């Protein structure tokens, strides 16, 4: 996921004339700070990525072998169940968990905080 406002800030920072970080010019230091802040926010966004949630294959009405081969995948929770990628239920954050250990809805509080600060 990319944030349009963060993309704008990054584009302005990268468009500024560069140096080798040995400068003492306030404008150049501010540019480096922006680059570092953009990198930090990108790292947070990478950790708090969107994870699609799908219905289990038992809910899928298409029982053709070709459909099963192309669209049914084993769940990553080690239970051995399969889901159908044609039956989306919603999106979850792959990092955040609630008090019961369940994934939180997307966008998570962290991503909403970043979006709110940049809007």
Per-residue pLDDT for the chain (119 aa), expressed as one digit of tens each? 567 877 777 776 666 555 555 555 556 667 777 888 889 999 999 999 998 999 999 999 999 999 999 999 998 876 789 999 999 999 999 899 999 998 899 999 999 999 999 88
Residue 23, domain extent: 4-47
Residue 80's contacts (CB-CB under 8 Å, 6 or more residues apart) are 74
Q: Is 93 inside any structural domain?
A: yes
Within this chain, do residues 35 and 61 fall inside the same structural domain, yes or no? no
Residue of 40, 33, 53 whose CA lies nearest to 110: 40
Predicted TM-score (pTM) of the model is 0.65
Give me the pLDDT at residue 110, please. Answer: 96
Q: Is 115 inside any structural domain?
A: no
User: What does the pLDDT look like over 78-100, one tens digit per residue?
Assistant: 678 999 999 999 999 989 999 99
């Amino acid at each position: 996921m990319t944030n349009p406002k963060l993309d704008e800030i990054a584009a302005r920072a990268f468009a500024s004339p560069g140096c080798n970080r040995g400068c003492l010019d306030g404008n150049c230091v501010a540019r480096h700070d922006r680059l570092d802040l953009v990198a930090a926010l990108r790292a947070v966004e990478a950790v708090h990525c969107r994870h699609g949630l799908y219905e289990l294959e038992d809910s899928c009405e298409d029982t053709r072998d070709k459909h099963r081969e192309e669209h049914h995948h084993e769940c990553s929770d080690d239970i051995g169940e399969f889901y159908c990628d044609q039956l989306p239920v919603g999106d979850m954050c792959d990092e955040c968990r609630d008090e019961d250990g369940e994934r939180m809805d997307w966008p998570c509080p962290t991503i909403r905080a970043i979006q709110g600060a940049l809007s």
